Amino acid sequence: MPPSEAPSLVSVEDVRKAAGRIRGVAVRTPLLRFRDVGFVKPESLQPTGSFKIRGAYNTLSQLSDEQKRRGVVAHSSGNHAQAVALAARLLGIRAVVVMPDNAPKVKVDGVRGYGGEIVFVGPANTERVQRAHEIADEEGLELVSSADDRRVVAGQGTVGLEIVEQLDEMAAPGKMEPEPLVVLVPIGLGGLAAGVALTVKSLRPDAQVWGVEPELAADTHASLAAGQRTPWPADKVGRTIADGLRGEAPAAIPFEHLKRYLDGVVLVRETEIEQAMRVAARELKLALEPSGAVALAGVIEHAHELPQGRFVAVLTGGNVDPARYLEILGRSG
């Protein structure tokens, strides 16, 4: 059984309420069969091209009328930025987003397309956080974190809720025992992994949930091993092609969930991430960004190292610059 939930942690009931709020905004993405090992859940099919719309809309929809009138500010490398911009547009809210100056053009264009106002800073996550806090203070805007918020964790947890529901719907009639379940989910700042882990482990106590990180940005792996958040420098995590997973340390609220619910972390190489992108294009007909392909890389290259069962890999996004994507697809592998 999962550990007892502390008052500060998100509950399954929080996730169910979030599912009601985002219904009709976020897509209930399908489970697609992958080889003979299980399924993938392509969050790249969301309106903004990533899972982030779940947490962003769940958060913004709960703001007071006064908070909505003043507007919001967020900091993000791209996918959360797009999600906040779209959620704000749907709710009639002004949105300012602080982004790194090395953010992929496709993500910058997405934010602008949804009506978000962009402020650029340097590549370090700390710069984005600091500038977003300054803008919030200067202009009276509500700060919307990409991960360090219970509302965001609950929204992202709807991915796990859907996985359990969809597997139940697929179960053969009369089958007494469900097949062992192993869910793989990428970890950046940890909001998605926290939400999925708490939800899946609460509804399916027999299941295992594993995070997946690039070897070059394994700050959560290091933090869990140390028992405390252990930041990596921006230039170190910046080496990975998975730009959405370059957070220097797991956020505080998600980390409390990860310590309680996550079974472990799988580390993948850069070449494995690129190969997973090629496999997704060839076998699944899905265009994935590097961050969106890490869980698939975990299944393809490391399934033999994990508990055996029916795997579900969460494919988190497909916002990749076309030129970079074609370059990766063109490499042999």
Cβ of 302: how many Cβ atoms within 10 Å?
A: 16
Cβ of 221: how many Cβ atoms within 10 Å?
A: 20
Q: State the SS3 of 200-211.
A: HHHHCCCCEEEE
Q: Give mean pLDDT, residues 318-324.
A: 92
* Domains recognised in the chain with CATH numbers: 12-50+149-330 (3.40.50.1100), 52-143 (3.40.50.1100)
pLDDT digits (tens, 9 = 90+) for 191-250: 999 999 999 999 999 999 999 999 999 999 999 999 999 999 988 998 999 988 998 899
pLDDT at 333: 63
Band of pLDDT at residue 134, cut at 50, 70 and 90: very high
Q: Name which of 181, 131, 146, 215 is nearest 311 in CA terms.
A: 181
List Cα–Cα distances, 111 to 2, 13, 49, 319, 324, in angstroms. 38, 31, 12, 12, 19
pLDDT at 3: 46
Give the Cα separation of 259 and 202 in Å (integer): 14
Q: Dump strand ranges (E) for 150-268.
A: 181-186, 208-214, 264-268
Q: Name which of 151, 146, 112, 113 is nearest 128 in CA terms.
A: 146
